[in-house]
Amino acid sequence: MSSVKGIRPTLRSEELLKKGAYIAGKWITESKEYFEVTDPATNAVITKLPDQPVQAVDEAIDAAFESYKEFKNTTPRQRAGWLRNMYNLMIENTNDLAKILTWENGKALTEAIGEIKYAASYFEWYAEEACRAYGVTIQPANPSNRAFTLRQPVGVCGLICPWNFPSAMITRKAAAALAAGCTVIVKPDSQTPLSALALAHLIEKAGFPKGSFNVVLSHTRTPEFGLRLCESPKVKKISFTGSTNVGKILMKQSASTMKKLSFELGGNAPFIIFEDADLELAVDQAVASKFRGLGQTCVCANRLYVHASIIDKFSDLLAAKVRKFVMGHGLDEKTTHGCLINQNAIKKVEDHVQDAVKKGAKVVLEGGPLSNLGPSFYSPYILSHVPENAKVSHEETFGPLCPIFSFKNMEEVVGYANDTEVGLAAYVFSKDVNTLYTVSEALETGMVSCNTGLFTDCSIPFGGIGESGFGREGSLYGIEDYTVVKTVTMGNLPKRL
């Protein structure tokens, strides 16, 4: 275990570390109230930021609305140029952005660097997609009429983002919105706002018009901020990543103005390993999926279903890999895995562990709090032969608990996997393509990953079904969620020659 101390990263560009909200191209640092941003590894205060009044949301909405009047008329090539500039700036500042991210989020620096590169890729992707929002031509039944469609930007967009990927969850939304010609208001989580502010700084340098990208800040008034965005008639779309419960609240609030919505909500991903799977590959990929961000990802494996004939061997191999983790402050170069975001995260892991063990689960690797390292450190637990009535079977842990369930056949495991209201991601491991294909079609999730535990990429559509939400981010489909289709009919045309 690496020792944890109060660490302040050395940044090549200190101007990336901002201390205010960003509205209409101006940095707002003055406020009657402030909130603290802390390092979750040590609880040390990083900085204080304005805890803005609700009126700040109105100011940001007005700024985005005024900017939209001009921004929607920019050409796709103009927007592509700004998006490409943003990609280049993020790559140029990768290490600084990653250090800021690690400092406020707690994940290991290597993971943070990966997130920044992934986040930047959305600006590159949508720089290329901005020019490809095509319409179609249609021949109506009336021979003297012609029709065609246009894809036009939906308007001002409210982007409400979580703490676990404080850079990527913003860029996945904002890059598509800006490419389509929309302007945006970003509300980052108050635990990790510095990454959003660093992006705003680079947006400014990339050349985007003032008011096209705005960041509002609050710790105590987050529900009020969300309500203001949802009820404003000037805001035409809300995109939210977070819990299903909050998503339902935002959906109700948005009904009054019939907003367009995109929700990426909770997951409970099954990770299925059949008897014929490459066991070494399955173990490595399970580690990569389950313990990325120490399990604090929406697509990480939450339930591992391993064929009964190999469950014990798999469990032992997995434990051997996890024992090699180096827990410590994310900025320590020796660290492979950092800390959890807060004490509530630890409480949920412990609740799920105690429940599963009480109901008969076998402890393969005992984890627990690492108070010698800091307040939010928790070493991973691995449990096997977990019963189906355990809480972890139906609730997302969002932490370093790896529960392994046993199954005997395909029909049984598909039934277990689908026994949930959410459907974001799923994983299947087998050497038989027939098994992969059959199970992939049967699983009730928006995404299925076969023989790999890491699948996210800017080129593929990301999103779920059921109570995991709707809408897709990334890919050629991502820009569609920020556009509306307009049909233009030309009538009473001359007879064809």
Of 104, 115, 264, 467, the catalytic one is 264
* Of the candidates 120, 217, 101, the residue with the CA atom closest to the CA atom of residue 175: 120
Angle (deg, nearest 10), helices 433-442 and 410-417 = 40
Nearest 10 degrees: Cα torsion 34, 35, 37, 41: 140
Radius of gyration of the chain (CA): 24
Quick one: 495 exposed, middle or buried, by C-beta within 10 A (0-12, 13-18, 19+)?
Answer: exposed
Identity of the residue numbered 250: L
Of residues 214, 156, 206, the one with CA closest to residue 187: 214
CA distance 235 to 223: 16
- Give the residue ranges of DSSP H helices in 32-144: 55-71, 76-92, 94-105, 109-129
8 Å CB contact between 286 and 429: no
Phi-psi region of 372 (alpha: psi -120 to 50; beta: other; left: phi over 0): alpha
Active site includes 264? yes
List, edge to edge, every strand of the sheet that includes 269-273. 362-365, 381-384, 401-407, 301-307, 269-273, 425-429, 447-450
Pairing of strands 137-138, 184-187: unpaired
Which of 161, 162, 164 shows the shortest CA–CA distance to 40? 164
Q: Which helix (H) or strand (E) holds 34?
A: strand 34-38
What positions carry a catalytic annotation?
A: 264
